[in-house]
Structure 1
C-alpha cells in the first residue's frame, strides 16, 4: 500500500502555491493532501525527516535560496514546473484615498506609487487589506474576491516556476505512482 503524499506550502488559502500544489498532484495523477503554512520557512521545518511529505516553493520566493542551502543535508530538489499564476491584482476596500498597500515582497515592484506593508503571502495581503491594515494590496484575484475587495488593476497571470523538495528519506517514487 502506497502512503499518501502531503505537500506543505505557503498559505493561507488562495495562494499561487496552493494552486500549484493542486496542479502537481493532478499532473502526476496522485491524490494527496495540501497543508498551508504562514511561511515556507515554517513549512520546511514540519517535513523534518518525513518519507511522504514534500515542500512546494516558488522560484521568486525571496528566501528560497536560504531554504535550499540551509537544509542541503536533509532536502533535495526533485521536481519543478512552470504554471501561470492566478491573475495578480491591485485591490482595495473601495476607498478613494490610497497611501499604503499590503504585499508579499516578491510582487512589490508592481506598484511604485504607494508605501508597502510587507506580509507573508499574496493571500495574506488580501486579508491585511480587508482588515484595514493597508489601503490596498497586491494579491490574487481569488483572494481579492474571497475578501470582497475591489480590483483596481489586473496584472494578469504570470508564468511562474514552482519547485518540489523532499527529504532524503522520501520513499514514494511519484513518477511510478501514475
Structure 2
C-alpha cells in the first residue's frame, strides 16, 4: 500500500427520502454522524450541496406549522433552525454554474448572520463566500429567483459535526412571508422540505 493510497476518499452521500425540493442531496467529507467512517487525518468537515431550485435552510417552522425536533441516525437532535457552531469557524461558499458568465450565481441569496443589534442580512446574486465565526448564529438562508443550478460548499474547521458542537436556536419562529417567497402561497409545500423524521 502506498503512502497516500487512502488520500483519495469516497465521500458520504446523504440523500433525503423523499428528496427535498430545490436540493439534490449532500456530499460530505468528514464525519457527519457518530460512528460514520471518514478520513480521520482531515482537519475539516466539508459539505457540498447542489441547489436545483428555490430553497431554504435554517428557516424555522412557520407559525401555522407545529414545531418539531428530529432525531438523527446517531441520536442527536436537530431541525430547521438557525445554528451556532460553538467550537468551529465555518466558511460557506456559493458558486454558480454558467461557464459563459462566472459572475452569475443563478439565484438570489438572502443570508442572515448574527442576531439582535449585530444581525447582518446579506443579499447577493453573484458568487460569494461568507465566514461564520464560532459561536455566531447563522441562518436562515433563503434561495429565490432560481434560474440555474448552483452549488453551496460548507467548510467547518473541525473534522466532525460532534467536534463542531452545533447548537440549535430552538426558539426561532419562521417568517411566513419569507418562506412563501421560496415555496409560494401553498404552505402545504413547506412539509416537503422536511421528511417526517429525516436521517
Is TM more than 0.5 here?
A: no
Name whichever structure is richer in helix by fraction.
Answer: 1
TM-score (norm 2): 0.27
TM-score (norm 1): 0.29
